[in-house]
Structure formats: structure tokens, C-alpha cells
Chain A
Amino acid sequence: MKKIFNIQSLYSILFFTGSIIILGLIWQLVSIITEKEIPGPLQTWVVCKEMFTTPFYDNGPNDKGIGNQLMSSLWRVFIGFGIGSLIAIPLGVIMGSSKFMMRLFDPIVQILRPVSPLAWFPLGLLAFKAAAGATIFIITITSLWPTLINTSFGVSSIPQDHKNVGKAFGFSKLKYLTKILIPYSLPHIITGLRLSIGIAWMVIVAGEMLSGGSGIGFFVWDSWNGLSLEKILVAILIIGTVGLLLDKLFNVVQHAFAWENK
């Protein structure tokens, strides 16, 4: 049996703690320089504890607990990212399998990929006539590119040897797809998904600031209007932590599907 607690994980914890302490010190320094205009860690901690004692309260549309806000953000990210992936993976497979399709679609990808999520927002509002739909729309359209590009790269780089196996033993189209194409490109697809979920989580804050109503982005904006900088700082830490956890989650998935190291 493998030891769960070994010297390596001890080092990891020590480095992590060290890193947090440095962050806290910089934060405190900034707070002192700005003469407490930006609240320090201790001040923020008091507000943070308060927020987390009742994270799921709901006092009408403009006053919800931080837990509720986080849940609605995660839900939107999940939907937007899900729709994006459902478009990106099949399209990536098509682009990767055929040079013709690659050359046909690549310019579209190159033009649309660098567009800021905020620029898409009005189009989303126009199309869905609702802020909620528009937020999901911008997550979808900005998060699908890494998955699309990585999928098409993975599929287009399938070695000739593997393709020859399919040819020589007369694999059907479906068998080729499920036994050669997908298994080979899966690590690339998951790398794409990992980058995509990162983008989706970045975009959600901007999207919710514009759309209002609920979510962690809305919470930041609402706290600014209420001049509670402590709450904004807590929200920033939560956004960062959740982003890290999402990335770690995909890291685990990535390792589970990496056949190369097995």
C-alpha cells in the first residue's frame, strides 16, 4: 500500500503555506500603504466569517448568501461550458479528420477566438432577450476555442501506424472512431477542456457584472455599490480558490485518461 502522507506531500503543504503567508504579507503591506482604504487580511477575515456563518440565506432577489451566489455561477459555467464542449468536440473531430475542413474552418476560428467576451454580450442579449441567456451565450462562445483547437490538433496528429491498423483489419467507421480516433485524441481533448473551463470561470464574473441578478460576479458589483471592500476581497479569494479547484479536477481527469504513462 502506498503511504498517503510522505515527505513529498509534506513539502507541498509547507510550500503552499509559505506562499499563502507571502500573499498575506503583501496584502497587509498594500493595506498599510493605502492607509486602510483597502482592508487588510484581518479585517477581511471578520467579514468572511460573518459571510460563511449563513452562506445560503435568501432575502429576495438582491440579497442572497455567498453560497447561493457561488452555486448559481457554477451552474451557469457548467451549462455554458457544456454547450461549448458539445459544439467544440465534434467540430474539432471533423476539422482534424479532413484537411479540407481544417482549411475551410480555420480562418473562422482565428477571427472569432480573440474576441472579448464583453463584445459578445449585446449579441447575446439580442438573441436571447434575457440577461441569463446572454451570460451563458458568452461563456459558450468564448470557452469553446481551446477545446476545438486541441481536439482538432489531437485528431489530425493520429500516427499513420494506428490508422493502418484500422485499414488493415477493416475497422468500420464507428470502430475507428471509438477504438482509434477518440482514445488517441482524448488526452488532447481533456487538455482543451481544462483550458476551456479556466476561461469559462474567468468570463462568468464579467458576464454576471453586466447581467446582474445573481452570481459571484453580481456579488462583486453589488458589494462595490454597497462600498464593502471586504466582501469584494472575500469574493476574489473565493473566485481564485474555485478556479484552482476546477483546474485540479481536470488535472485528475487528465491523469486518469493518459494511456501514455500506463
Chain B
Amino acid sequence: MKSLSLEEIQTLNDSEIETSKAIEKILGPSAIKIDNVTVSFKSKNGIYTAIKDISLDIKKGEIVSFIGHSGCGKSTLMNTISGMNTPSHGEVIANGNVVKGPGPDRGIVFQNYSLLPWLTVFQNIYEAVDSSFKNISKKEKIEMVEKNLKMVNLWEHHHKLPGHLSGGMKQRVAIARAFAINPKILLLDEPFGALDALTKSSMHIELLKLWNLDHREKTIVMVTHDIEEAIFLSDRVVVLNNGPASTIKEIVEVNLERPRNKKDIVHDPKYMEIHDKLLNLLIDKFSIADY
């Protein structure tokens, strides 16, 4: 967190408008503002409401996780931010604009990587860069692809087709692709769900490394059903109720200091407290009832 400079304290006293501006300066403006959003779908059995009356402010540079049981509308909420779904009621404001559809200010990493199998690793990222940056030369675009692939240590595999990569490598390509378009907001939809535990751990560290390299300015929103993952990565964990028409059950602050150490953090009493709290929120019964 930034410390207050003298000028900033000065402006705090000036007037009410100035005050709110200063607070915004300190806390950072909200990158995503979810305002009373309801999403319903038409289905065979009438209208299905996935999420109902959800409001949430996510600050710039914050990492927020959505957690909940399967079918609780985590992905629906995520897709509303990305613009793949349109809310039936309410609106989402991202980077100061009402979300009307997907845009290059929000990079998405899909659950199943979603790389195009007929394009090489290089081409997969290049096409995304080419679509997002209209006014730069081809040479600059190629440099951007190279920089991002080097960041995830995959430059030596740039000529390979995705089918020749392991799951972890594919996910790194997908992350590099999302970073390459340099979005202010990064949306991760169960990004590590398909990976084994070891690969998963190293991917968490990779992700935080990229976030640090970028001076922690990117806002990251992530969908997960892994409590440890949510705590290790996030500043806040949003727990959703079970669907249909799910709402926010509780927002849990993860006030653990960064940089966090994967090995040490699990022994931190604060970590254990948060872990227990989340577990209690997610699981009602911990043993089979004795009749």
C-alpha cells in the first residue's frame, strides 16, 4: 500500500470532493464496478437465473478470487465482466466504461487454454496482438510476442503446435497471450483446474511473478474452487452461495503480506484462520452424521 505524501494529506483537508479524489488516489480507483447485476438465461424449463443482485467493487491492482461450488455462477459472473454474457439487469463498469462486449482492455485466460490448434505457439499470440494493436508495426508486434513468450520461458517452443505441449505449457501460452495484449484487467476462469498439483504450484508463482514484473498494476480476477490457491494468490476471496440465483455469501479479506512464500505461508496462523473460515463457508458438514 502506498504511504501518504504530505501533499496528499493536504488535499484531504481541502474539500469533500477533493477528499473523495484523494481516497481514490490512495486506495486506487475501482477497476471493476459490478453494479446490482442479475444474469438470467432462457432454458427449456423457463427462465434460469444464474446470479442475482450482485454488487462488488474491485480496486486497481487487486487480485480477487471467486469461489463456490460447481454451478454457483462463478463463471457466469466472470463472463459478465469479460463481456461474453450481457446482464439482464444492472451493469458492469470496467476501466470506467460500461461493458458491452469483450474488449482488449480485459485479457482472458480460459479454463481449457483455448489455443487454436492449427496455429503455432507464436502465431497464437501474434494473432491476438495483431487484433488488439492496430497502430504499431509488424516488427513491434513480433517483438511483443517474443517478450511475452520469453517471460513464460517458452520462446524455444514458439514454433510448436499446441498439441505438442504439456498442459502446463499450454496454460503458460494462454497466460502469455493474455499478458501480450497488455490488458488493465486479467480474467482467469479456473486457469489451473486441469493441472496437476506440482505444475499448479509453479504456475501460481509464475503468475505472481508476471504481476510483480508489471508493478502490480494489473487487476486480476480469478475463478477457482481451490481454497489454498485462492488464499495464496488473492487480496480478497468472494464466496458465492449455491445457485440458482446465487448471491455473494461473504467477502473474506486475505491480509497476508506479499511477497508470500508458498512453503511458509501454510504455517502462518492468519493463513490457517482464513483457511478455516473459507472451509466453514463452503462446507456445511465435515463428517457423515452418526445415526
Q: Which residues of A are in contact with B by a Cβ distance under 8 Å? A: 161-162, 164-165, 167-172, 175, 179-180, 183-184, 259-260, 262
Contact = CB atoms under 8 A, between A and B. Distances in A.
A92 to B, nearest CB: 19
20 contacts: A161-B110, A161-B114, A162-B114, A164-B110, A165-B110, A165-B114, A167-B84, A167-B102, A168-B107, A169-B104, A169-B128, A170-B103, A170-B131, A175-B127, A175-B130, A175-B131, A183-B119, A259-B117, A259-B161, A262-B163
B160 to A, nearest CB: 10
A179 B84 contact: no
Interface in B131-171: 131-132, 161, 163-164
Contact of A168 (B102, B112, B130): B102
Nearest to B106: A168
A161 B114 CA distance: 6
B155 to A, nearest CB: 21
Residue among B84, B103, B118, B161 having the largest count of chain A Cβ atoms under 10 Å: B118
Contact of A170 (B84, B104, B116, B164): B104
A169 B114 contact: no
A179 B127 contact: yes
Contacts of A183: 116, 118-119
Nearest to B123: A179
B161 A262 contact: yes
Interface of B: 82, 84, 101-104, 107-108, 110, 112, 114-119, 127-128, 130-132, 161, 163-164, 177, 181
A162 to B, nearest CB: 6
Contacts of B131: 169-172, 175
Contacts of B118: 183-184, 259
Nearest to B164: A262
B85 to A, nearest CB: 11
Contact of B119 (A164, A168, A179): A179
A7 B251 CA distance: 67
A259 B124 CA distance: 15
Contacts of B116: 162, 165, 179-180, 183
* Main SS at interface, chain A: helix
A160 to B, nearest CB: 10
A180 B131 CA distance: 13
Contacts of B102: 167-170
A50 to B, nearest CB: 51
Nearest to A165: B114
Contacts of A164: 84, 108, 110, 114
Contacts of B107: 168
B86 to A, nearest CB: 13
Contact of B132 (A170, A184, A262): A170
Contacts of B181: 169
Pairs of residues from A and B, 3 with the lowest C-beta to C-beta distance, nearest first: A259-B118, A169-B128, A183-B118
A248 B84 CA distance: 44
Nearest to B119: A179
Contact of B117 (A167, A170, A260): A260
Nearest to A178: B127
B184 to A, nearest CB: 15
A90 to B, nearest CB: 21
Given A161-B114, A175-B127, A259-B118, A168 B84 contact: yes
A168 B116 CA distance: 13
Nearest to B112: A161
A164 B113 CA distance: 11
A148 B80 CA distance: 37
A161 B112 CA distance: 8
Contacts of A171: 127, 131
A169 B127 contact: yes
A183 B131 CA distance: 18
B82 A168 contact: yes
Contacts of B164: 262
A179 B129 CA distance: 14
Contacts of A161: 110, 112, 114
B151 to A, nearest CB: 18
Contacts of A175: 127, 130-131
